[in-house]
Amino acid sequence: MEINEKFLKPYDPANTESRVYKLWEESGFFNPDNLPGDRKENYTIMMPPPNVTGVLHMGHALMITLEDIMIRYKRMQGYKTLWLPGTDHAAIATQSKVEKEIQKKEGKSRHDLGREEMLKKIKEFAQQSHDTIVSQVRVMGASCDWSREAFTLDEKRNLAVNTTFKKMYDDGLIYRGNRIVNWDPKGQTTISDDEIVYEERTSKLYTFKYSKDFPISISTSRPETKVGDVAVAVHPDDTRYTEYIDKEYDLEFCGVPIHIKIIADKEVDPVFGTGALGVTPAHSMIDWEMADRHDLPRPQVINEYAKMTVGGENLLGKKVTDAREVIVSWLRENNLLEKEEDIKQNVATAERTGGIVEPLPKLQWFINVNKPIPERDNKTLKDLMRVPFENKEIEIIPDYFSKTYFHWIENLRDWCISRQIWYGHRVPVWYRSTSLTEGKEEIYCGIEAPQGEDWKQDEDTLDTWFSSGLWTFSTLGWPEKTKDLADFHPTDVLETGYEILFFWVARMVLMTEYIIGEVPFKKVFLHGTVRDGQGRKMSKSLGNGIDPLDIAAKFGADAGRMALIVGTAPGTDSKVSEDKIKGYKNFANKIWNITRFVLDNVDEKNFHLLPASPLANGEENSLVEEFKKTIEDITSDMDNYRFHLASEKIYHYIWHRFADEIIEESKKIILEGGEKAEERKTALVSIWTNCLKVLHPFMPFVTEEIWSMLPIPNKNLLIVENWPFDYAQGKPK
């Protein structure tokens, strides 16, 4: 049989992959509305939107590969598949990056430029980054529906954000209050918990008394905050301090008058330090909550620039690190310092600026997670996040993350959603003065700006997670009741990194349950961190990062995909190296060579017999039946999200069973000729064409290219061929 001259040379991914991707796009099969056949059941994945802050890394490549495997598998099974792509404006990260560039190139701050000009520059950067990301996603082979692409800061998402904000505001779930927040003194904004990076640093733990007459010693690593202390807390069962509980003392600490009350609180650890805790409500999340329980005052002694706001010349206006030295010297001079020891401490720093985070009380917008919601059977937002997992409406893969999730929910505080930056969804609240003399304000919350004069919109923007929390349903057209929303929601699986289980996954459950009364997804599939060949985290400082585009150019995207998937169980970190990727490039070439052998040794009529019927010879039939059992096993792995096992099994079958054994023995059988040779040819064609189908979700480019050159009558593109042998497992359930 005459074969394509391409098979006379080694497989060339560089001249294949972009052409094949264009073929898929032009076919329209990425769009579920264009899929062939009668597809009654839907399968939906929303792509976790990459941040428009630069380029994709290998963690993104793993995400894209896993989701593409899921979608291609379900598409071949006959589902109406929607994989909706998009990008995230990533407010703080994007603005911070552009601010640094402007400062570096022009020596200007955002305030020098003004809000309008600054936003213009950020949007230009975001668009360039978006275009780069989209091209990378295509290079990886992502079969997502580009016609439905979304952006977390586009007009449709802004309408969804404002509609959600107003509903929560009207329901009393969103409020403006003075509460303690994570404050970034460098970036001059509040930040969320996930934007904090904890760095282990050597620090000092100081043990001292406020004064010689004060009866209790306390320990702290931040003496500078003690000028803001209002109480000393001890455990109610700690007999060392029972006699002092409820007593009050007026003292002068480093020149600052303080009033200290001794309180009993079960949250105090009697083993740490002296078992007594100096309570600074304005500068500690834990102490703020303690102040709530004991009705304590909250004097602020550090400002937004991490400088002292109390004291005389020795303290006032000093940076906190300098103030610390002043207070420690004062303690020494007054013989109040009892102990000074080195400790290891996790210091909270802002991910984007590197600034040390200061807990500060600020007037901000919050979401109340503990308020009963009448229209949700008086469940709280905490309940709405927890119950679907308890009722198994949502399954986490792997399951051991569930315990961590529940623990996080129980300890959840009200969510601070306002940010002091310009890039993002602006808080949809407007103010105007009603009486200049009394300083009263009229407040309007709405989806659009209010009518009338003198209204001024809130300067703050919303936390990025607020808009991305609406991702599964805002991308389908909500607040309109669209056909897409009816057809494709709830989505089937959310695939994402385990590190954002709480920050994104939980907030999507919160928003979706509250807004539309259903779960956003049925399964959460968590992947781990992609590390280098030595198990180290990839970073600029180590210079060990691997660029997905470089991998695709050097080895082919298929090789990169296999290297990322084989051996990578859900929720576990994985190692990837160029040697591993090179091994799968060799595998792609092996597939190419196997195809050449098959085409060289069979006749076109053997392809016309597909799909293979039961064969006359029991030995040949047994080869096909053996492979069917392999596919059954792989299908079970695919259905249960064990892609690392499925990929390994098809790899081993092709290389070690089919190539090393079946092909080797076939050479002799075909050479001898006769009826047995014809049966063997039919078996080879049947098995090999189905090998290509099973391998397609993992290595889509090389399999589609080979498929296009097989003499199969009435064939379609491999991307929409049926999963092999029409098993019950290969049909929508």
| pLDDT of the residue at 611 | 58
* Mean pLDDT of the 317-339 span: 96
Query: Residue 372 domain-assigned?
Result: no
How far is 696 from 685, CA to CA, in rounded Å? Answer: 16
What element of type H or E holds 394?
none
pLDDT band, very low/low/confident/very high, at 606 (cuts 50, 70, 90): confident
What distances in angstroms separate CA 646 from CA 622, 642, 695, one per listed residue? 22, 6, 9
Cβ proximity of 129 and 499 under 8 Å? no
| pLDDT of the residue at 516 | 95
| Among the ranges given (77-81, 329-333, 423-427, 431-435), the one the predictor scored with the smallest mean pLDDT | 431-435
- What is the average pLDDT score of the chain? 91
* Mean pLDDT of the 708-719 span: 94
CATH of the domain at 689: 1.10.730.10
Query: Which of 325, 360, 395 marks a domain boundary?
Result: 360
Is 602 in the same domain as 715?
yes
Q: How buried is residue 403: exposed, middle or buried, by Cβ count under 10 Å (0-12/13-18/19+)?
A: exposed
Is 550 in the same domain as 575?
no
Beta bridge partners of 361: 180
What element of type H or E holds 181?
strand 174-184
Is 39 in the same domain as 140?
yes
CA atoms within 13 A on the CB side of 173: 26
How far is 646 from 28, CA to CA, in rounded Å? Answer: 28
Query: Residue 3 domain-assigned?
Result: no
The whole-angstrom distance between residue 363's C-alpha and the CA centroid of its chain comes to 29
Query: Residue 546 domain-assigned?
Result: yes
CATH of the domain at 548: 3.40.50.620
* Mean pLDDT of the 317-332 span: 96
Is 227 in the same domain as 141?
no
* Mean pLDDT of the 462-488 span: 96
What element of type H or E holds 97?
helix 91-106
pLDDT band, very low/low/confident/very high, at 158 (cuts 50, 70, 90): very high
Residue type at position 509: V
| pLDDT of the residue at 26 | 97
Is 572 in the same domain as 605?
yes
Query: Which of 310, 336, 360 marks a domain boundary?
Result: 360
Kindly tell me if the per-residue pLDDT of 416 is higher than 50: yes
Residue type at position 21: Y
How far is 664 from 718, CA to CA, in rounded Å? Answer: 27
| pLDDT of the residue at 282 | 96
| pLDDT of the residue at 219 | 95
How far is 501 from 235, CA to CA, in rounded Å? Answer: 34
308 DSSP assignment:
B
Query: Residue 421 domain-assigned?
Result: no
614 DSSP assignment:
P
How far is 637 from 698, CA to CA, in rounded Å? Answer: 13
Its domain, for residue 656, covers 558-730
Based on the structure, what is the number of domains in the chain? 3
End-to-end C-alpha distance for the chain, whole angstroms: 40
How far is 288 from 628, CA to CA, in rounded Å? Answer: 63
Is 544 in the same domain as 585?
no
Count the Cβ atoms, other than its own, within 10 Å of residue 313: 8
Kindly tell me if the per-residue pLDDT of 542 is higher than 90: no
What distances in angstroms separate CA 547 from CA 134, 136, 352, 577, one per listed residue? 15, 10, 22, 11
Query: Residue 413 domain-assigned?
Result: no
| pLDDT of the residue at 609 | 73
pLDDT above 70 as % of the chain: 95
| pLDDT of the residue at 729 | 45
Is 578 in the same domain as 666?
yes
Q: How buried is residue 252: exposed, middle or buried, by Cβ count under 10 Å (0-12/13-18/19+)?
A: exposed
| Among the ranges given (432-441, 497-506, 509-518), the one the predictor scored with the smallest mean pLDDT | 432-441
Is 634 in the same domain as 681?
yes
Query: Residue 611 domain-assigned?
Result: yes
Query: Which of 505, 537, 555 marks a domain boundary?
Result: 555
Both tokens assigned to 167 = 């509903």
What distances in angstroms separate CA 129 from CA 16, 83, 200, one per listed residue? 26, 21, 32
Kindly tell me if the per-residue pLDDT of 4 is higher than 80: yes
Cβ proximity of 184 and 350 under 8 Å? yes
How far is 291 from 285, CA to CA, in rounded Å? Answer: 10
The model's pLDDT over 582-593, given as tens digits with 9 standing for 90+, comes to 999 999 999 999
Q: What is the pTM of this model?
A: 0.90
| Among the ranges given (22-26, 135-139, 498-502, 589-593), the one the predictor scored with the smallest mean pLDDT | 498-502
Is 603 in the same domain as 672?
yes
The model's pLDDT over 221-261, given as tens digits with 9 standing for 90+, comes to 999 999 999 999 999 999 999 999 999 999 999 999 999 99
The model's pLDDT over 48-107, given as tens digits with 9 standing for 90+, comes to 999 998 778 888 899 999 999 999 999 999 999 999 999 999 888 899 899 989 999 999
- Residue 202 phi/psi, 5-degree rounding, is -80, 130
Kindly tell me if the per-residue pLDDT of 658 is higher than 50: yes
Is 110 in the same domain as 248?
no
CATH of the domain at 324: 3.90.740.10
Kindly tell me if the per-residue pLDDT of 615 is higher than 60: no
Is 568 in the same domain as 551?
no
| pLDDT of the residue at 540 | 57
Is 515 in the same domain as 569?
no
Query: Residue 431 domain-assigned?
Result: no
Query: Residue 160 domain-assigned?
Result: no
| pLDDT of the residue at 733 | 34
| pLDDT of the residue at 727 | 45
Cβ proximity of 515 and 470 under 8 Å? yes
Cβ proximity of 54 and 92 under 8 Å? no
Kindly tell me if the per-residue pLDDT of 544 is higher than 80: no
What beta strand segments (E) does 409-460 contain? 415-416, 418-419, 429-435, 440-445, 456-457
Cβ proximity of 635 and 723 under 8 Å? yes
pLDDT band, very low/low/confident/very high, at 538 (cuts 50, 70, 90): low
Beta strand 86-87 pairing with 150-151: parallel
Both tokens assigned to 75 = 């598409």
The model's pLDDT over 98-157, given as tens digits with 9 standing for 90+, comes to 998 999 999 998 999 999 999 999 999 999 999 999 999 999 999 999 999 999 999 999
| pLDDT of the residue at 543 | 65
